[in-house]
Each structure stands twice: as structure tokens, then as C-alpha cells.
Amino acid sequence: MRIAVVGTGYVGLVAGTCFAEMGNHVTCVDIDEEKIARLKQGEIPIYEPGLSELVLSNHSHGRLDFSTTLVDAVADARVVFIAVGTPPGKDGSADLSAVFKVAADIGKAANGPKLIVDKSTVPVGTAARVKVLANEHSSHPIAVCSNPEFLKEGAAIDDFMKPDRVVIGAENAEDFELMDELYAPFVRNGAPILHMDPTSAEMTKYAANAMLATRISFMNEVARICDLVGADVSNVRRGIGSDARIGKPFLYPGIGYGGSCFPKDVKAIMATAKQNGYVFQILEAVEAVNQLQKGLMVEKVVDIFGEDLTGITIGLWGLAFKPRTDDMREAPAITICRELKARGAYIKACDPEALATGREAIGDHIDEYLEDMYDVADGCDAVIVCTEWNEYRNPDFDRLGGSMKRKLILDGRNILLERELQAHNFDRYGVGIPPILSSSKVKQ
């Protein structure tokens, strides 16, 4: 099948590449000429494990192309995916200006019947509006369906290639058949393709992310209570996660969620509710808890060192909002650095993939951006684990203890082994787990 994907961001590039991997001819379109030129040279603008290899392979075999010319790409395609950004506005509602512009442009470029597929995360009712706009500018019939993505950054290729479900919101049997044909190679393991109306498909995406965000914030509140009463949230998580009605995923406490989906989608579904005269009270609380949680490590630093952090050096292990990505959108590290810097702290930081994006997001709120985790820890009064990269899970504690000013780790992701910390006389504060107070001595 010949496909056009408009937008070469995270969703568009992953989707286009995976469709090409299954033998389709895909043209990815973007208005950013520099990005398209880089993609043609094999330079990937985002970090996603496995994506670079697939892009290079499919481009070299002629299945995947990149262009700045939407007209040619649309003319050549039967199916056109819209995968442009929908950033939140000041009121939290999604900015759909790029989606609507692309819809009109597709209508103008159509040289025959087309199926437009909304792949961007869009509010309820967007597919209907896209259909009107596209057909207003076209003399050919244009159908629209909603096909939300459910990709986890850091595992997007596997998620796309082996989905747990595919949601298709369409209006007629022909469009369902076309989409079923396109996704057939991806669901040979028995994953369901769920047919529904476009409005329900749009709501499904927001509801799914809102539920996952709710689980995270719920567990973070449980962790706060555990800190107050002396319980261990790790045991609590195992206890409730073993209930088949609840399950284990997304019950890990930490310093808040971030990224491209949860913060934006929670805001968007709340905005949709308000536009329809309803206040989504649970999600109001979810968002408030998440913002509070991003400041948890700052609270702990202030409890230990006081409000004035002048002369205190803090190291950050990890900047990205989660491992296996360089995405800094809504990352807790941003809040942590700004709050600590405002109190006078000197801050050093590292991340295996997000140093460049971290510098863009945080700037001079970090004093030193370093490659090595031990260089970050050298001379620090405390190290904060912000991102659960695997290389931070089992450090050389002898080396670490020998270089830090004080053996103090604030484990914002609860990844360090308690027995190792105790064996090497480290103090440790986590999230909802009992502190380890092995040593409070400061090197002179």
C-alpha cells in the first residue's frame, strides 16, 4: 500500500518506519527542510532504541522516503496519516491548528478518493472537523478515521510491531477493511483490532492515558502516606499489585510522570470536560499530585540542608522523564533543578541520552553537564536519582563513596539496592520507603 505520513515527530516517524518495514511504500512529509535533509542522510532527530536501524534499512531499500512536498506525497498515497503536534494551550486544551491546516492541504492536494487517518492525539470531535475541512477543499471524496497510537517511549518499535490492541474509529465498512489490511501484519499474534466510531476512538486514547496517569499519582500519594506512617511502599505495591483486578503495571512510585503524552492528555481531557460543562475532579487531583511530587526531592534536600543551599553541591543522575529516551518534556528534573538553583545550590548532571535536550530545557539552572555519573558525584553533598537508567542501578559504591563529600543519595526512583547502600555506609532517602541512615558524617 502507498502511504503518506504528515509529520516526522515521534509518532509520525515511528509509524511511517514500521509501515515501511511491513512492505508498504511510505513517504514522510515535514515542513522542516533541515530535518528532512538530515533524515535522508540517516540522521534521526530523536532517540528511540531500534529506530535508526529501521529508518536506514527501509530508506536504502526504497520503501521509506522523506519529503517537504505534501502535494506529491498525497497524490501518490491512498491513505494519509496526520501525525503533527497538538501541544497544550494556556487553558490545557489541545492546539489543533497544525492538524486543521494539514487537513485543508490534503483536501487541496487530493487527486482521487483518500482516507485521512488522525494519528495525532486529538480531542473528541476532531475527526469530524478534519473531514469537513478536507472535503471543503477537495472535489474528490475524502473519508476520515481515528487511529490513536499507544506507544511507550523507549519501547515504541516493539509496541507498534506487536501491539496489544489496534483501535480504529471509522464510519463505513470500506474504511475498516482498508485499515484492517494495513494492520494485518502487526496482529498475527492475535491482538484484537477494535472497530468503533471515530468519537469513541478519540476518547479511548485520552481515557487510557488518563487512567495510567491516575495510577501513578495514586501510588505517589500512597508513598507519601507510607513516609508519614513508616510503611514500605514496595511491600504495599506488591500487595495490591497481586490483585488481578488491579495488576502491577504503573504502580511504581517516583517523582512524577512527564513526557509527551500523560501531562498533555490529562490537561486535554479536563479541558474537553470543562467545554462540555463538567469538571473532571479525579484528574484535577491527579495533575495536582503530579506537580507536588516533582518537588519531593527538593523537599528532602531542604529538610536535610535547610532552605539556603549556598555552598551545597547536588548531583543529578538522569534528566529525561524516563529511561530509553531523550525526551525532556515535563521531566521532573526540570522542576528539581530550578527549585534547587533558586535556593543557591551548585548543580551537576548527567544522562546517557538527554544531555543535549536537557541543556535546551534546563539551561543554566545546571552548572555542569557531564558525561560520566562518577564525575557528577565527585564532591557532591548529595546525588539525586531522577531517571531509572540501568547504569545507575548498581554503581561502584566504593568509588562513589570515595569521591562524594557526603555519602547521601536521594533515590527518586527507588532503584538502588538497600543491602549495598547499607554495606557501604550510605544514607538513602527514597519515595515511600524507610530511609537508610548509615552515615551522616561530612568530609572536611
- Condensed to tens digits (0 to 9), the pLDDT of residues 16-30 reads 999 999 999 999 999
* pTM to 2 decimal places: 0.91
Q: What is the pLDDT of residues 343-359, one digit of tens each?
A: 999 999 999 999 999 99
| pLDDT digits 0-9 by tens, 359-390 | 999 999 999 999 999 999 999 999 999 999 99
Stretch 256-263: mean pLDDT: 92
Indicate the domain borders of the chain.
2-196, 205-292, 294-437
Give the model confidence (pLDDT) of 84-112 as tens digits: 999 888 888 889 999 999 999 999 999 99
The CATH T-level fold of domain 205-292 is N-(1-d-carboxylethyl)-l-norvaline Dehydrogenase; domain 2 (1.10.1040)
Please compute the mean of the pLDDT values over residues 168-185 and round it to a whole number. 97
Catalytically active residues, by annotation: 261
The predicted model gives 74-79 an average pLDDT of: 95
CATH superfamily membership of 2-196: NAD(P)-binding Rossmann-like Domain (3.40.50.720)
- Give the separation between CA 204 and CA 435, rounded to whole angstroms: 40
Q: Are 2-196 and 205-292 the same fold in CATH? A: no
Domain topology for 294-437:
Rossmann fold (3.40.50)
Rounded-to-integer distance, Cα 425 and Cα 427, Å: 7
